[in-house]
Amino acid sequence: MIKWYLLDNLPLYNMNELEELRNISIHSILGLRNDGKTQMICCPFHNERTPSCAINSNNTFKCFGCNKSGGGAIDFVVACGLSFRDAVNELKSYL
């Protein structure tokens, strides 16, 4: 049985599909190689000259400059400024 959910007056989303999108590697979105280590990058959420955003091998991120953090691809893309709906549509191209 497929469960469908209405999120904040948005279209119905299949929870299995949302879980697949959430599990897309943040490394693949950024074009990084996931070598099992934490990688530091310049934060995409604010301007800076030195890397302060950690992308972890367990698909979480944390910026020590602006303090944004989360887990999964949807959280990352939403933190970059897209709405939830736009983030889902953008990530579908990675499946």
Q: At what angle do helices 15-22 and 84-91 cross, to 10 degrees?
A: 70
Total-model pTM: 0.81
- What pLDDT is stored for residue 16 in this prediction? 81
State pLDDT tens for residues 16-43: 888 898 899 999 999 988 888 899 999 9
- Helix (H/G/I), strand (E/B), else coil: 41: strand
Going across the sheet that includes 60-63, the strands are 39-41, 53-55, 60-63, 69-71
Q: How distant, in Å, are the alpha carbons of 5, 26, 45, 75 from that of 33? A: 34, 10, 21, 20
- What pLDDT is stored for residue 37 in this prediction? 86
* pLDDT of 13 higher than 90: no
